[in-house]
Amino acid sequence: MTEELKDIQKEENIVYKKSSLLTDNVMHYCPGCTHGVVHKLVAEVIEEMGIQGDTIGVSPVGCSVLAYNYIDIDWQEAAHGRAPALATAVSRLHPEKYVFTYQGDGDLASIGCAEIMHACNRGENIVVIFINNAIYGMTGGQMAPTTMIGQVTATTPYGRDVKLNGYNMKITELIAQLPGTCYVTRESAHTPASVRKTKKAIRKAFENAGQNKGTSFVEVVGTCSSGWKLTPEKANEWMVDNSFKEYPLGTMKDE
């Protein structure tokens, strides 16, 4: 390493660096996937708050199942959809800890719908990070509860049909009505500005947990390039043109 390079890498010259909580493991996510960005934000928030040793994450089945490989904190693995139930137990056994779940829409809104509703209604002191890409990503691109009307998936090749498949579930709007939630917001991570807003929302959620305010719920509307059969760039454009109309961004509850 040259002296010039050493000088550039001095702490006072560093504008941005990778969070020390992110491991060196290569992420398995597809190019353009929202999960990688949100992982980075979660790691940065935990590091900046100085709570690495006091944070416990819970990841269930789905694309998020390997989150423990990428963020260096204590983790619990949960059965499909059961992360809120496990997080409830962890939080009650260790009330001094920051406990969060990291879940996709197929996991949280489908098989885990009962768990998330009741955990939020009870006001468990946990953070829920919910990635909504409107499809089952890991298992082949099938229709999810959040798949929009007319959206093509592996199991709705002609588009989701209300008469056959029912309406898409706006889970975050339902969560916002429950008395146990203190903070409910819907964000995205497709532009630098939206990434900054999402990081701010995640930080607020963890701060709420530190103040024992109840359940904080952060939805991040994301893309699934492989499931949608689009390039990362086109997937972002499709999300803006379609997902944001059905799942508008903004904070629904802040107490």
Sheet strands (E) in the chain: 55-59, 74-77, 98-104, 127-132, 181-188, 215-221, 250-254
Return the pLDDT at 173.
98
Helix axes 113-122, 83-93, angle to 10 degrees: 30
Q: CA 69 to CA 71: how far, in whole Å?
A: 6
**pLDDT for the residue numbered 118:** 98
Q: What are phi and psi of 157, to 5 degrees?
A: -65, -20
**Interval 108-132 mean pLDDT:** 97
Question: How high is the pLDDT of residue 65?
Answer: 84
Which tokens hold the place of 41? 């934000």
The pLDDT of residue 9 is 66
Distance CA 109, CA 126 (A): 17
**Structural domains of the chain sorted by starting position, each given as residue range(s) with its CATH number in brackets:** 30-254 (3.40.50.970)
Q: Mean pLDDT of all residues in the chain?
A: 94
Residue written as tokens 């499809």? 135
The percentage of residues in the chain with a pLDDT greater than 90, rounded to a whole number, is 86
pLDDT range class, residue 10, cuts 50, 70, 90: confident
Question: Could you tell me the pTM of the whole model?
Answer: 0.93
Give residue 64's pLDDT: 82
Determine which helix (DSSP H) or strand (DSSP E) holds 39, and give its type and residue range. helix 34-49
Q: How confident is the model at residue 160 (pLDDT cuts 50, 70, 90)?
A: very high
pLDDT tens for 61-99 read 888 888 999 999 999 999 999 999 999 999 999 999 999
Assess whether pLDDT exceeds 70 at residue 7.
no
